[in-house]
Amino acid sequence: MFSPITNEQLIEIANEFGSPVYIYDTAKITEQYNKLTEAFKQHPTKFYYACKALTNVNILKHLRSLGALLDCVSINEVKLGLLAGYTPEQILFTPNCVDFNEIVDATQLGVRINLDNISILEQFGNRFGGSYPVCIRINPHIVAGGNYKISTGHIDSKFGISIHQLRHIERVVKTTGLHVQGLHMHTGSEIKDIEVFLQGLEVMFDIAMRFPGIDFIDLGSGFKVAYKEDEKDTDVNKLGAKVAAAVAQFEAENERKLEIWFEPGKYLVSECGYFVVKANVIKQTTATVFVGVNSGFNHLIRPMFYEAYHRITNISNPAGAQRIYTVVGNICETDTFAWDRVLNEVREGDYLVFHNAGAYGFEMSSNFNSRLKPAEVMIKDGKHTLIRRADVFEDLLKNQII
Ligand SMILES: *Cc1c(COP(=O)(O)O)cnc(C)c1O
């Protein structure tokens, strides 16, 4: 049975490795992976972990040990995946607006390739013909996801080839003899309404009718996890049952078989992550009480970039009186993590933890203000291990020519 990591463990790790520090509990990743595979067991379904959420090689290895496959968006992610022990067939490369040479490099590494614009499709077809199978990323023009910034299927999106360009896709495929193995869509992140997936699936079925040779439909991601106390995860059990029923019907009507693929990022690694920071300063102004912490958007940018909500708790004073705070960073730029947050009384020196910090946390960090990136620690089988050292001053100068 899964038991969440305790405040005492988090404090112990922060004391040992210093703060700020990212801490990942692999037991939570395992639980999330098992929930998904269980929910979709009625139909052959594959899960490609969208590793841009968190690419530490130790995390990639853990996911591989569970049986997850890997979705990569850059050639470097592909290389990290290979380093973590994934075989080329277990890796799907889904690039967007990359140089054609990067795609050629991917063919040399032998990984699966997902193409998302006509120009590249044509170049690929001219170069490889039917000798290297591909998947085609379709933009079904379904508006989905938490907000416009994280939605990728809408009309203004740069992702995928529009369904309205289907005739053009067919022309390129026919002329070049491309071997199309699968169809892909990814309409966005944090989709609450499972009907959106099913709507997308219907669109993909329509297209699949025009590609009798395909083996799979990849529905991308959009699996939501709860960030706020009163939010709910995507109901994967209900979705699994509905997808299985829809595919079974399609298979029966058309006498063919189709695997279903997904590419969850956040769902697998968001909740495993804890970002522990220290309260540097309590600052009373005329308007609010600020808690200034020893971090900023250089380490966790989601609140500022996406207006994302991360639950924050004071693990050093969990029984303290509840008070209202505005939590900010130490960067010379407005970097508000949270307005009007009720926390147990925060004293200077207390550790605060940002929950759900596994996905797009460390991964989007930078050295802005010449600050150092934090360490990453992984908890596995009850033991914690340092999986990335914090930056040191020399790292800031590493590539500077002096
Ligand atoms: C980012 C991305 C995902 C993962 O999205 P999450 O919201 O983290 O689950 C999946 N597929 C593709 C192509 C992506 O770019």
What digits encode the pLDDT tens for the residues 220-247?
998 999 999 889 999 999 999 999 999 9
pLDDT at 150: 59
pLDDT at 156: 78
Q: Whose CA is nearest to atom 1 of ligand 1?
A: 50
- Of 202, 231, 264, which closes a domain? 264
The CATH number that applies at residue 207 is 3.20.20.10
Residue 156 in any domain: the answer is yes
**How many structural domains does the chain have?**
2
Of the candidates 293, 203, 188, 193, the residue with the CA atom closest to the CA atom of residue 250: 203
pLDDT at 229: 87
User: How many angstroms is it from 92 CA to the middle of ligand 1?
Assistant: 12
In angstroms, rounded to a whole number, what is the distance separating the alpha carbons of residues 399 and 401? 6
Residue 19 in any domain: the answer is no
Q: Do residues 274 and 364 share a domain?
A: yes
DSSP label of 309? -
Size of the chain, expressed as the number of residues it contains: 402
User: How many angstroms is it from 72 CA to the middle of ligand 1?
Assistant: 9
Tokens found for residue 58: 């130790």
- Of 213, 244, 264, which closes a domain? 264
What does pTM read for this prediction? Answer: 0.96
What digits encode the pLDDT tens for the residues 92-136?
999 999 999 999 999 999 999 999 999 999 999 999 999 999 999
Q: Is 97 a catalytic residue?
A: no
In angstroms, rounded to a whole number, what is the distance separating the alpha carbons of residues 230 and 145? 18
Q: Do residues 147 and 198 share a domain?
A: yes
Q: Do residues 250 and 316 share a domain?
A: no
**DSSP string of 103-138?**
HHHHHHHT-EEEE-SHHHHHHHHHHHTTSS-EEEEE
Residue 41 in any domain: the answer is no
Q: Do residues 392 and 287 share a domain?
A: yes
**DSSP string of 51-89?**
GGG---HHHHHHHHHHT-EEEESSHHHHHHHHHTT--GG
pLDDT at 31: 98
Q: Do residues 228 and 129 share a domain?
A: yes
Residue 117 in any domain: the answer is yes
Domain hosting 107: range is 94-264
pLDDT at 155: 75
pLDDT at 187: 80
Q: Do residues 253 and 289 share a domain?
A: no
Query: Pocket of ligand 1, candidates 33, 71, 92, 239: which has the most ligand atoms within 8 Å of its Cβ, to mutate?
Result: 71
Below-70 pLDDT ranges, the chain: 1, 143-153, 189
Q: Do residues 205 and 339 share a domain?
A: no
